[in-house]
Amino acid sequence: MRWITRPIGGLFSGHRGAYRYLANSAIDYYHPADLKQILLDAGFSSVIYTPLAGGMAALWECRK
């Protein structure tokens, strides 16, 4: 993520700093299993995670 997002995003947008932040924040984000547990602990009764685009994005379905 870090080696692709920063150079390509910066090249197309002209804002390298924003894409450096994006790459670092995505890397530091919760692992799906950890986020699922956080959501269950917050009171959701059903939490379904579906990875999209090879794991670059995800669809979360949560029911309370």
pLDDT for 16: 66
Give the angle subtended at the CA of 32 by the CAs of 55 and 1, to the nearest 5°.
Answer: 40
pLDDT per residue as tens digits for the range 6-58: 667 666 777 766 666 666 666 678 899 999 999 999 999 999 999 998 877 89
Residues 36, 23: one domain? no
Task: Read off the DSSP letter of residue 42.
Answer: T
19, with CB counted inside 10 A (0-12, 13-18, 19+), is buried
Residues 20, 45: one domain? no
Residues 54, 35: one domain? yes
Residues 20, 41: one domain? no
CA distances from 20 to 12, 13, 26, 39 (A): 13, 12, 10, 28
pTM beyond 0.75, yes or no: no
In total, how many domains does the chain have? 2
* Domain limits for position 46: 31-64
Residues 39, 12: one domain? no
